[in-house]
Structure 1
Amino acid sequence: GDDAAKLFSIMMIIGGIAPVVAPLIGGALLGPVGWRGIFWVLAVAGAVMVAGVVLLVPETLPPERRHGGGLKALISNLQYVVRNRHYLGYALAFVFGFGALFAYISASPFVVQNVLGLSPSQFSIVFAVNATGMVTAAMITTRLLGRVGARTLLRFGVCLLLIGGAVLFCTSVVFSSTNTWLILVPLFVAISSIGFIMGNATALAQGEVTNAAGTGSALMGAGQFGLAALVSPLVGIAGEDTAVPMAIAIPTFGVLAAVALVLLTRGKAAAS
Structure 2
Amino acid sequence: MIGLDAAMYGAAFGANALALSAVSALSARLAATRSVRGLLGAGLALCMAGCVGTGLLVATGAPAGWLALSMLVSVGSIGLVMGNATALAMAAVPRSGGSASALMGALQFGLAAAVTPLVGLGGEHTAAPLAVVMLAAGALAIGAFLLAGRRTTTD
Same fold (TM over 0.5): yes
2:55 maps to 169
Residue 267 of structure 1, CA deviation: 4.4
Give the paired residue count.
154
Q: What is the aligned-residue identity percentage?
A: 36
User: SS in structure 2 opposite 1:239?
Assistant: coil
Point out which structure has higher relative CO (alpha carbons under 8 A, 6+ apart): 1
Q: Deviations over 1:218-242 (max 9, x none)?
A: 1111111111111111100111111
Residue 182 of structure 1, CA deviation: 2.4
Residue 199 of structure 1, CA deviation: 0.6
Tell me if the contact between 1:172 and 1:183 (Cα under 8 Å) persists in the aligned partners: yes
- TM-score normalised to the size of structure 2? 0.93
User: SS in structure 1 opposite 2:41?
Assistant: helix
2:105 maps to 221
Q: Deviations over 1:233-268 (max 9, x none)?
A: 110011111100111111211110000110122243
1:184 and 2:63 equivalent? no
1:86 maps to none
CA RMSD, 1 decimal: 1.4
Structure 2 counterpart of 1:198, from 69, 72, 82: 82
Distance 1:241 1:178 in 2: 14
Distance 1:225 1:180 in 2: 28
Structure 1 counterpart of 2:23, from 137, 142, 147: 137
1:155 and 2:155 equivalent? no
Residue 120 of structure 1, CA deviation: 1.2
- Name structure 1 gaps, 5 residues minimum: 1-109
Residue 167 of structure 1, CA deviation: 1.1
1:209 maps to 93
1:259 and 2:123 equivalent? no
| Equivalence map 1:1-272=2 (5 Å) | 110-111=1-2, 116=3, 118-173=4-59, 175=60, 177-268=61-152, 270=153
Q: Deviations over 1:150-205 (max 9, x none)?
A: 111001000011110011111103x2x14123211111100111100001111110
Distance 2:5 2:47 in 1: 27
Q: Deviations over 1:105-153 (max 9, x none)?
A: xxxxx32xxxx2x321221111000111111111111111121111110
- Name structure 2 gaps, 5 residues minimum: none
Tell me if the contact between 1:157 and 1:194 (Cα under 8 Å) persists in the aligned partners: yes
Tell me if the contact between 1:161 and 1:251 (Cα under 8 Å) persists in the aligned partners: no
Query: Which amino acid letter does the alignment assign opposite residue 164 of structure 1?
Result: G
User: SS in structure 2 opposite 1:193?
Assistant: helix
